[in-house]
Each structure stands twice: as C-alpha cells, then as structure tokens.
Amino acid sequence: MQLFTCPFCGPRPETEFHFGGDAGNARPGAEASATDWTDYLFFRHNRKGVAREIWMHLSCREAFLMERDTVTHAVTATHALGSEA
C-alpha cells in the first residue's frame, strides 16, 4: 500500500485518493471551439516519468496537485491548489 500525502490530512493510503487528470487542463469558456472543448474533455498528456496531476482525497473531498513519477510511483510533492488547477 502506497501512502500519498494529502496537503490537508497528511499521509493516507492510496485507496483514499482519486485521479483527476493533468494539472493545468483548464476548463474552456462557453465560446470555446469544439476542438478546444474536446481537447479539455478527452485528450491527455499521459506522461511517462515526471507528471503534474490533480488528485482528490476522497475522505476530505479536497482536490490538490501531486507531482509524481508514473514509472517509479515516487511522489516528489503535493500542494494545495492555487490558481494552477
């Protein structure tokens, strides 16, 4: 069982967390083109190696930013979200 560190609750088991997609995938405005909209909805960086992702801690319902390696699973940092969600 891997522990992820929720910025609000501290280290908790990985099963309490839900993957929320790439960090920086901002929701487009109402005037967005179909391409921008489907980019936002479906298309992913899916990076091998270091990735910046949004995760939710299901216990406290807070979303946060996690930097981790998608090959080694090492987590380098977790942050509360600022303006970068």
Site for other proteins in 12-71 (CB under 8 A): 13-15, 17-19, 34-35, 38-39, 41-49, 51, 53, 70-71
* CA atoms within 13 Å, Cβ hemisphere of 48: 0
User: How far is residue 3's CA from residue 17's CA, in Å, rounded to a whole number?
Assistant: 10
Q: Which CB, 14 or 84, lies closer to other proteins? A: 14
**Smallest separation, CB 27 to other proteins (Å):** 16
User: How far is residue 57's CA from residue 11's CA, in Å, rounded to a whole number?
Assistant: 11
Q: At 72, which helix (H) or strand (E)?
A: none
User: How far is residue 12's CA from residue 29's CA, in Å, rounded to a whole number?
Assistant: 35
74 binds other proteins (CB under 8 A): no
Q: Which CB, 9 or 43, lies closer to other proteins? A: 43
Residues that bind other proteins (CB under 8 A): 1-2, 13-15, 17-19, 34-35, 38-39, 41-49, 51, 53, 70-73
